Structure formats: C-alpha cells, structure tokens
Structure 1
Amino acid sequence: MTGSGRFITLDGPGGVGKSTTAAALTGFLTSHGEQVYTTAEPSHSELGRFVREHADRYQGATLACLVAADRHDHLARDVVPRLDTGVTVVCDRYVASSLVLQRLDGVPQQYLVDLNAGMRMPDLAVILTADPRNIAGRIAQRGATHRFNRDPEAPTRETALYKEAVSILRGMGVRVLMVDTGVASPKEVAERIAGFVISDLGTVPQQPDSARRQGASPS
C-alpha cells in the first residue's frame, strides 16, 4: 500500500531561521504521529556537495543550471520515493530560493522559471521573512556562510525578491504561507506552519508499518 505524502518547503533570506524552523517543524509533526523526512538543497548527494563547495566559483546561469540538475536528482533519488510511501518531506530551500538567489546573481527571472519548469511543486511553500535589519544582525552574529551573505544590501534585496517569488509560485497554483520569524520563536513559527498543514492540507493516510519503514529509508 502506498500513499501520497506532503511536500513542504522552507525558503527565505539567509539568516531568517530556515534550518531551525525545519528542525522544529519536523519535531512537531513527528510528535503528532507523522513520518517525516527532513532534507535540504543543495542536496547531500555528491552533486549537491559539489554545488555547495563551488557556489563561489560558479555563478550566474552556470550555477543556476547546477542547482537545477541537483534538484532533479534530489527529487528522483530522495524526495519522490518517500512521498510515494506517504512520508511527509520537509525541505530547507527549494524553487523559491532559486528564484531569488540566482536573480541576485544576474539571471533573468523568466530563465529561472523555465529552468524549473516540470519540477514537482510543493504542497505548501513556506516563505520565512523578517525585518531586513534583524536579518543583517543575525548574519553579523553568526558570520556569512556564502557570498550572498557578504553583501550588506542582500537582506533588503532578498526580502523584496521573495515577495516576487511568492507571486510567481501562487501564479503556478502553489499554496504559499508567509511567516514573520522576527516576532515569534522557532517553536511558535513551527506550530503555526504545522497548524496550517494539518488544517488546510489534511492528514496523511496512515501507512502499514512495512510501508512506513520503507518510506523512512528507501534504497
């Protein structure tokens, strides 16, 4: 017996709290009886690691194509097999991040839309946001993790571009939830997202133990 799991993605400017929120959301859904798998993009595959390690070297359309290639591989090897067995997948960064970060890199919006055409869209795309000044403060405190963080104007530019990304995704029929992380704790943010997931997306059909085990660790 197989089912269709829910695909939830988390995007937002660097320093907005995506990884912390992903962990809190996973914990909350798991505590409510769901089988949840947390992942990220670039992925943890060999190709994904290459993208992470060379994101400063490759830029523009080259980097955008590498990210898209990793996304195709990630979906085929990691995400879709779990969704097909009824597992909820929470992904830290997805298409929305491409529509923003590669725009910062000078890639035209339509090129990015076309490049991601045919990708499996999330059941819920969560866009985390906050005051750009707060984001800049968090980045300064933790340190820049990639070249986009090194631009002091990046938080303001990213925040504006994510608003455009929300319009694009909604135009594609994707459900989008925007959450301000500047006025709530990670636990509160996760609970708000989980509440939306449960009330608006419905519960995932329960799978037999064998199917759940297969979904948790596909080959």
Structure 2
Amino acid sequence: MTRPPARGHLFIVVEGPNGVGKTTSTRALADQLGATGVRVMVTSEPSGTPFGRLIRSGESDLTGRALALAVAADRADHIHREIWPALQAGLVVISDRYVQSSLVLQRLDGLELEEIWQYNAHVLPASLSCYLHHEAGELTQRLGRRTTLSRLEQVGSPEQELALYEEAFHFLEAHGWRQTRIDCRGLSPGEVATELLSQVQDAYDSDTV
C-alpha cells in the first residue's frame, strides 16, 4: 500500500449520497482553506483525465464488473499522476468522491463489497474521509429537481445509498481509515463547509495523521 501522507500533507475526501451537496461543500471548504493561506488542490472522481472523462461519458453503457475495474484503474492513475505529487508538494488535496463511492455505487450495480475492495485495497488511504448525511426525503426532492439523472442514480435510491454508505463507513473503519460524519440537516452549504473545516483542522493537529 502507498504510504499515507506525512503530517501536514492532508488528503481529504468528501463523500455521501447523490444530492447531498458534495461538490458544493468541497468547493466551499477549498475556499475557506485558501482564505487562511493554505495551498489546496480540488479534484474529483472519476478523474478529469481523458480516461476519467471517458468513464463519465460511458457510464450508461459500462456496467457491473467492467465499470468497477475501469473506475479502480482511473483511481490508481489519479493517485499516481495528481494526488500523490500534490501531497508531496505540500498541498492539501480535497477529493469529491473516492473509494467510498465505489463501495456504494458498484454495489448498486450488482457487485459484492469484498470484490469491490479487491480492486481498491492498495489505494492511498485518505487522511480524513468526511461523510455528508441528510434525510432521504430531502435527497429525493433534490434529485427530482435535476434535469437528468445518471444510470446509477436511477437504479438506486437515497435510502439505499444512505444504508450502503453506513456499511462502507464501518468497513473502512475496520481497515483503519480515519473518518467522520457531518449531519447536513438545517445547515447551509457555507455552514457545512465550516464544519468540514473544523474536522480538517482537527486532523491537521492530530499526531495520527
């Protein structure tokens, strides 16, 4: 396994079900960190590489094991080309989605948890994984306001995703991953980012990172 980032070289993952506000919260967290003078790199998965864009565009046709393997390959390349070099340069890296999304979405696509983990067991562990949580009813309403839904958004439901993210949390906890949950109910995107920032600061100050 690739060694974890050194103290101060933080790799933060923002996770949670579709519609919970991962992208908005990730950008707001980056803005708040940047305002304190911290150098930040924001990224997402699938990655922005040509391979990652191909996965995004072909998600409706690429399914099951083929999709899981493609996503895992993109993640390995993402770590090698972007995440690890940025950490070595002293940046805080924030990723919108990571291994947790595979452990949830590929299960909606018919794979078992242990198989998905086999494809991702040697990835770089996040310094801190932040799971955003909201009520299933609110998530359903948000998804209903979107003009289009991805294939996996149509296959699953907020209730299923919330349950699978809970399972992923416990699974990675057993593998020693540092994780936290943030209850987004009643919070604005800025308030969610402030809570994220508090968790990140705790991780930065911890000797375990």
Partner SS state of residue 145, structure 2? helix
1:165 aligned to which of 145, 164, 168: 168
State the distance in 2 between where 1:157 and 1:76 align: 32
State the distance in 1 between where 2:119 and 2:154 align: 26
- Report the TM-score, using the length of structure 2 for normalisation: 0.92
1:42 equivalenced with 2:37 (yes/no): no
User: In the alignment, what sits opposite 1:126?
Assistant: 130
Runs of 4+ in 1 over 6 A off after TM superposition: none
User: In the alignment, what sits opposite 2:56?
Assistant: 52
Match runs of 1:61-140 below 5 Å? 61-140=65-144
Pick the structure with greater CA Rg.
1
Q: Is the 8 A contact 1:3 1:86 kept in 2?
A: no
User: In the alignment, what sits opposite 1:195?
Assistant: 198
Match runs of 1:143-154 below 5 Å? 143-151=147-155, 154=157
State the distance in 2 between where 1:143 and 1:117 align: 35
User: In the alignment, what sits opposite 2:3?
Assistant: none
State the distance in 1 between where 2:201 and 2:8 align: 15
State the distance in 2 between where 1:43 and 1:73 align: 9
User: In the alignment, what sits opposite 1:179?
Assistant: 182
One-letter code aligned to 1:170: E
Q: Is the 8 A contact 2:128 2:203 kept in 1?
A: no
Unaligned runs of 5+ in 1: 204-219
- Report the TM-score, using the length of structure 1 for normalisation: 0.88
State the distance in 2 between where 1:195 and 1:181 align: 14
Relative to structure 1, the CA distance from residue 164 to residue 3 in structure 2 (aligned partners, 3 Å threshold; closer, same or farther) is: closer
Deviation at 1:4, TM superposition (A): 5.5
State the distance in 2 between where 1:116 and 1:42 align: 14
Q: Is the 8 A contact 2:7 2:204 kept in 1?
A: no
Q: Percent identity?
A: 37
Q: Is the 8 A contact 2:13 2:97 kept in 1?
A: yes
Aligned residues: 201
Relative to structure 1, the CA distance from residue 110 to residue 31 in structure 2 (aligned partners, 3 Å threshold; closer, same or farther) is: same
Unaligned runs of 5+ in 2: 1-5
